[in-house]
Homo-oligomer: A and B are copies of this chain.
């Protein structure tokens, strides 16, 4: 963990959404490693999943079952059930079938999620044995334990919560996430679950989720390695009693979407802040691009550059590395004489030339900080994008070379 307090702030319960945990002893004994979430019938459920083609068995199932009126999420940590072939798919199905049997829903209404070691068989029997404990534990005020229950190498549980008022009704949006996995895909996976008591029409909820994912979890990168298991789910229970939101053209829709986005961004940033081996939180903002795609291409080229990342770790105001990364970004339109670059508010390049006002001392002052913004203006359009990342440290190598010892 780098920056951010790591302190858990109380997460508001969401009416109609319950969570339960158990210790199934999947990889270690004595830790919560099984989480069950459930919600009232009639809720809407949306989800986005990893684009990695080698996606894990649970991702295949969860994606397939998303349209089948889901009622349960079944999450385990300690084992990613990825790279496990056909037996992995059967094991995932077996656990879902057992939860369906115990809870009286259809098997297709249970969506599985796994995170942990890749390539080892899922101990389905351990999961099944612990299910009654998790089901007995189901309650609305259980976000903290669930946040703990989905952790792998995270150093703290990640929660976020917001409430807002509209027309005399208080609406709640709460969520949990886990990460660190982006830099440790053995302990694979970014997982996030957000619930709200607002009523939202199902296909609109999916549209909202996809947009918000692009503005939050799809904007974080530690090392560019997309995991096999990444999933981000959103449930609206409708218990607040509003007429279901089905378009953006209402004040309630605007407030709700903004609030879900805030929660998602906070959960996403928490993953970067807890990136193991990281000592800095770095925002890379690209403005004035011809397209959003170009802005992202430049931002990711910088965010993934090992040379920029090691300079950040060393607190070295090595602007030549940033400049070189911008220059090699895969975009069609770039005019060097229009490019300007800042470290926080300090100009390092102006219109393609080294800034006359830049000094090493001033650069050093910015680089010594634990939160840094690298801002680039391309000067060829109006598109802007921002991504969040970390530095690259000795600790990263130690963790990722040393794991599986």
Interface residues of A (CB under 8 A from B): 51-55, 82-86, 118-119, 183-186, 188, 223-228, 304-307, 310-311, 313-314, 316, 318-321, 323-328, 334, 336, 349, 352-354, 392-394, 396-398, 400-404
Contacts and interface: CB of A to CB of B under 8 A. Distances in A.
Nearest to A325: B225
Nearest to A315: B401
B310 A401 contact: yes
B51 A401 contact: no
A306 B54 contact: no
A403 B316 CA distance: 9
Copies in the complex: 2
A70 B183 CA distance: 49
A304 B307 CA distance: 13
A304 B304 CA distance: 9
Contact of A324 (B228, B316, B321): B228
Nearest to A117: B320
Contacts of A314: 400-402
Contact of A306 (B186, B227, B306, B403): B306
B185 A307 contact: yes
A184 to B, nearest CB: 8
Most chain B CB atoms below 10 A, which of A320, A394, A402: A320
B392 A311 contact: no
A86 B336 CA distance: 13
Nearest to A53: B327
14 contacts: A82-B324, A85-B352, A183-B306, A183-B307, A185-B320, A188-B324, A223-B307, A225-B328, A306-B392, A306-B400, A310-B400, A313-B397, A314-B401, A393-B401
Contacts of A310: 396-397, 400-401
A401 B277 CA distance: 14
A188 B324 CA distance: 10
A305 B354 contact: no
Contacts of A186: 318, 320-321
Given A53-B327, A311-B401, A324-B225, A354 B85 contact: yes
A226 B328 contact: yes
Given A118-B320, A223-B306, A354-B83, A327 B400 contact: no
B305 A224 contact: yes
B400 A397 contact: no
B354 A324 contact: no
B353 A226 contact: no
Contacts of A307: 183-185, 223, 225, 400
A402 B311 CA distance: 8
Contacts of A353: 85-86
A134 B273 CA distance: 54
Most chain B CB atoms below 10 A, which of A53, A349, A352, A393: A53
B52 A404 contact: no
A324 B397 contact: no
Contacts of A404: 316, 318
Nearest to A330: B51
Contact of A328 (B52, B86, B327): B52
Contact of A316 (B55, B183, B323, B401): B401
Contacts of A118: 320-321, 323-324
Nearest to A228: B324
